[in-house]
Amino acid sequence: MNTVLGPIAAEELGFVAVHEHIGYGMPGSELDTRWWKTPEQRYEETVPKLRQFAEHSQPYGGPTFVDATGICNGRDVDYYKSLSAKTGVHIVAATGFVGGDTALRFFADAPVDYLMRQFVHEITVGIGDTGSLAGIIKVGVSRGFRMKELDLRIYRAAARAALLTGVPIFTHLAVDVEPALAVFAEEGLPLDRVLFGHADDGVSQGKVNEAAILGGGGRIGFDTFGYDLELPDPPFWGRHRRERLEHFLRLVGEGHVDQVLASADANCSPLGWPGVKGHTVNYIFEQLIPDLQEEGVDEATIYRIFVTNPADFLTLTTN
């Protein structure tokens, strides 16, 4: 398993927040003066959250924070390395793109083979000159809830890179999944190497073909836990807390516990947008796990959701 400070064994991952962000922003946001933050300000905002995450994780081992940011969205691996060294949190960095519409022109015009080589390079040689290897590949659906040609080109490149390197794939959004499933099938990538993310958000409901994902052996991401409509200023993708929880419990109750992964998709320090106040990675410990316990989910199941299953998913797997 690749972390920004080097490879670690699956057993060392411990508690995994599988889809999070140190800081996510749209390409170019770093040039918007309204949102400039000094490195010191970002550091000050981020370190206490990671330290708290490390403390909460102690009973489970770890902790591991998977940064699902990708190329062109503010990914800053030297910064992640320093955060990891300071807080003891394992940080996994992503190659790939959150969606075709955040890929800068240089990549948007590139053929599948070029994109595949870029991903493989970041996984096996390093991200830029940082010497750190990417541990996941991010892909996604552009705005509008429909897969575009560029999205599919990135999915295909990601599938090929995943097969060559053994790194798993995360998707941004699980809507319009049929073309994605077709690409993975054509490339011969087993679906347990893919986490179909944001299947739990408020705007995706009714648009996710869960039966096709689960039936094919794919994994479903309940990774926007905490973007609750009960927040003082909820985002447009928010959802009622009870409704999301019941949705999650339904899949667990139907026997899909090894196909679901949970996370908070929070920003430690957002880039170029205000973020969502009051929402951090620590929601997992402060609200989600207590909610699960109250609903009678036992410790062994919680361990599977946050330790065993993510370790299985993140472990480099080549067939």
**What residues form the annotated binding site?**
19, 21, 138, 172, 198, 265
CB of 26 to Zn ion, least distance (A): 13
Where helices occur in 166-219 by DSSP H, the ranges are 177-187, 210-215
CB of 19 to Zn ion, least distance (A): 5
Q: Which span sits near Zn ion by CB under 5 A: 56-64, 67-75, 88-96, 134-142?
A: 67-75
Question: Under 8 Å CB-to-CB from 241, ≥6 apart: which residues?
Answer: 228, 229, 230, 287, 291
CB of 161 to Zn ion, least distance (A): 20
Query: Per DSSP, what are the bridge partners of residue 260?
Result: 220
Please state the residue numbers annotated as binding site for Zn(2+): 19, 21, 138, 172, 198, 265
What SS3 class is residue 267? strand
Instruction: Please report whether residue 122 would count as binding Zn ion according to CB under 5 A.
Output: no
CA 86 to CA 200: how far, in whole Å?
Answer: 33
Instruction: Please report whether residue 265 would count as binding Zn ion according to CB under 5 A.
Output: yes
Instruction: Please report whether residue 200 would count as binding Zn ion according to CB under 5 A.
Output: no
CA angle at 55 for the pair 245 and 38, rounded to the nearest 5°: 95
Complex with Zn ion: residue 261 or 297, whichever CB lies closer? 261
Closest residue to Zn ion: CB criterion: 265
Q: Please tell me the count of residues contacting Zn ion according to CB under 5 A.
A: 2
Q: Which span sits near Zn ion by CB under 5 A: 127-135, 213-221, 249-257, 263-271?
A: 263-271
Instruction: Please report whether residue 123 would count as binding Zn ion according to CB under 5 A.
Output: no
CA nearest to 219, candidates 276, 266, 263: 263
Query: Per DSSP, what are the bridge partners of residue 137?
Result: 95, 169
Instruction: Please report whether residue 183 would count as binding Zn ion according to CB under 5 A.
Output: no
Instruction: Please report whether residue 264 would count as binding Zn ion according to CB under 5 A.
Output: no
Complex with Zn ion: residue 110 or 180, whichever CB lies closer? 180
Q: Give yes or no for a contact between 201 and 174, defined as CB atoms under 8 angstroms apart.
A: no
CB of 186 to Zn ion, least distance (A): 26
Q: Among residues 4, 68, 180, 245, which is the contact residue for Zn ion, using CB under 5 A?
A: 68
Complex with Zn ion: residue 112 or 203, whichever CB lies closer? 203
Q: Which span sits near Zn ion by CB under 5 A: 43-51, 103-111, 265-273, 310-318?
A: 265-273
SS3 content of the chain, % helix, strand, coil (to 5): 45, 15, 40
CB of 195 to Zn ion, least distance (A): 11
Instruction: Please report whether residue 133 would count as binding Zn ion according to CB under 5 A.
Output: no
CB of 267 to Zn ion, least distance (A): 9
Instruction: Please report whether residue 151 would count as binding Zn ion according to CB under 5 A.
Output: no
Where helices occur in the chain by DSSP H, the ranges are 39-57, 77-87, 105-108, 112-124, 149-165, 177-187, 210-215, 241-251, 283, 289-294, 299-303, 309-314
Sequential DSSP letters for 97-158 = -S-GGGS-HHHHT--HHHHHHHHHHHHHT-STTS-PPP-EEEEEPPTTSS--HHHHHHHHHH
Instruction: Please report whether residue 66 would count as binding Zn ion according to CB under 5 A.
Output: no
Instruction: Please report whether residue 251 would count as binding Zn ion according to CB under 5 A.
Output: no
Question: Under 8 Å CB-to-CB from 209, ≥6 apart: which residues?
Answer: 177, 178
* List of residues contacting Zn ion (CB under 5 A): 68, 265
